A and B are shown apart, each in its own frame.
Chain A
Amino acid sequence: GAGVSQSPSNKVTEKGKDVELRCDPISGHTALYWYRQSLGQGLEFLIYFQGNSAPDKSGLPSDRFSAERTGGSVSTLTIQRTQQEDSAVYLCASSLSGTSLSDTQYFGPGTRLTVL
């Protein structure tokens, strides 16, 4: 079966522009997560969706970042007025329920964002 897919795989943008990153989770997975991986850094949690609602947005770094999920499936992470410090790999993960302690999170390949 298909895994988590993300698009685009690479995105180069100019400072100040808005970008949208897309995540298609594994079919049937109700939980969806966004993480950010900066060069040489670990993965930083951004936001968690349970269905279409986001009970935990605590990792979003500023109000320039927002995310939505529709139909309990596809999610879009939007970064407005991009800054150079936004350059990173943005990873999406999904899990079956998100409410089980040992629910495995399956990661997509990520979108590498470069802000010039």
Chain B
Amino acid sequence: QQQVKQSPQSLIVQKGGISIINCAYENTAFDYFPWYQQFPGKGPALLIAIRPDVSEKKEGRFTISFNKSAKQFSLHIMDSQPGDSATYFCAASRGNTGKLIFGQGTTLQVKP
């Protein structure tokens, strides 16, 4: 049973455009929602994270929007750059277990 569903599977955006990746979760006990960025041959790296007590968090060009009632959260990449081309994973965890449940990933390609 997949607890975190991510879409789209792949995304192509022009340089300067907005990239949007969506995730939905099932377990209402989840209380930490990070996004990870992964380049080929590398391990994932934390990009930005949010807790459910806020609806939005922004760090530079990256914004997480969180909708607790809909059990959905999304990553927005403003002014997308070719260097943003990577695979992005949303994730969720519960309490202090630390165990991350990941979405299936989105491969983003930003065209120059």
Q: Could you list which residues of chain A lie within 8 angstroms of chain B, going by C-beta atoms?
A: 4, 31, 33, 35, 41-45, 48, 56, 59, 91, 93, 95, 98-110
Contacts and interface: CB of A to CB of B under 8 A. Distances in A.
A98 B95 CA distance: 10
Contact of A4 (B43, B89, B97): B43
B73 interface: no
14 contacts: A33-B98, A41-B104, A41-B105, A42-B89, A43-B89, A48-B98, A91-B44, A95-B98, A98-B96, A101-B31, A105-B46, A106-B45, A107-B36, A107-B44
A101 B100 CA distance: 11
Interface residues of B, number: 27
Contact of A93 (B43, B51, B103, B104): B43
List 6 tightest A-B contacts by C-beta distance, closest first. A107-B43, A42-B102, A43-B102, A98-B98, A42-B104, A99-B96
Given A33-B98, A42-B104, 9 more contacts: A35-B102, A48-B97, A56-B97, A59-B99, A91-B43, A104-B46, A107-B43, A107-B45, A108-B43
Nearest to A47: B99
Contacts of A59: 99
Contacts of A33: 98-100
